[in-house]
Structure 1
Amino acid sequence: MIGSAWLHLASFAVMLVAIRAVRRWTWLYALSVLPGTLAHEAMHWLAGWLFGARPVSLSILPRRMPDGELLLGRVLFMRLRWWNAVPVALAPFLLIPLSAGLLWHSAGWLALAWPSLGLKLLAVQCLLATWPSGRDWWHALAGAAVAGALTLAGLYLYNRLGFALR
């Protein structure tokens, strides 16, 4: 059984490395990570809906940006504010447990059986899609900075009004 677990992990790792190796061929990479891009953007959309950011569009069509970078997908929001920016921006991290669950579930078959390989491929897609983009990090840090500043201001006022923390 232990040998089987190693074979499952090895096939998962091979898929992970293979998809990362395709990165030099931009459009092939964009096509190979399309399911992960959909999962990533869907997490933003779902978090935006849950936290009141009012998502208005979701696109997973890759396009070249003016700076030459490839934009794999995007979600536009009507009411993205400092208080909902952090959970919306970091929502793709929720794909990590999904990836682990898919990998765990793939162990129900032989390591190289088609259903097992399919589940592992989905797990790889979810894992690769977890990391937020630069724009996502910017929104998360800006929201966290405002929340931190408001918290510090609130604590300062709380102490200045005679309600010292003990």
Structure 2
Amino acid sequence: MFRTYRRRLLQFVQRRKLSWHLADDIVQDTFLRVVATPSLPEQRFAQSYLYRTANNLVIDHFRRERILSFVSDPDMAFELIADDAPNPEQIAWSRQELRRLQTALDALPRHLRDVFILARVGGETYVDIGKKLGIPSQTAFSRMVKALTIVKEAMEQDEKNRSAIR
């Protein structure tokens, strides 16, 4: 496939007003993407698949160029993007909050905790919870409301206690 389509694909990409080197990189990336695809296209669709992939890479290139044109130093552009990874302080705070929530959940009566876990952790509907626990779905709902109220009050009380200590 590479030998058959490389030259034509290179000409196709160069017609998009790209330098020879950049066009060659895009053609290489095109073949890499095709090879990395879990199921290669059938032979009769191979050419259109290659051209579509190459065209999409050209479009992506021009989008990046347009974005980088707004930045004074394109080499530093990606260094200015905020990191989504939580910092150590956020990780510590999240772990503390999880411990507080676990303590509040542990204090719930079992019948309320079961509904809470099935709904919030398991993502189950109240109808499904009712079937699993052998209770009406309305009872599952009212238990969830009660569980949420108790957990919210426990978390608020814990926060007040912490504020008083500080």
| TM surpasses 0.5 | no
Q: Hey, which of these two has a bigger chunk of strand by percent?
A: 1
TM-score, normalised by the number of residues in structure 2:
0.29
Q: Which has the greater radius of gyration?
A: 2
TM-score, normalised by the number of residues in structure 1:
0.29
Q: Hey, which of these two has a bigger chunk of helix by percent?
A: 2
The one of the two structures with greater contact order (alpha-carbon pairs below 8 A, sep at least 6) is: 1
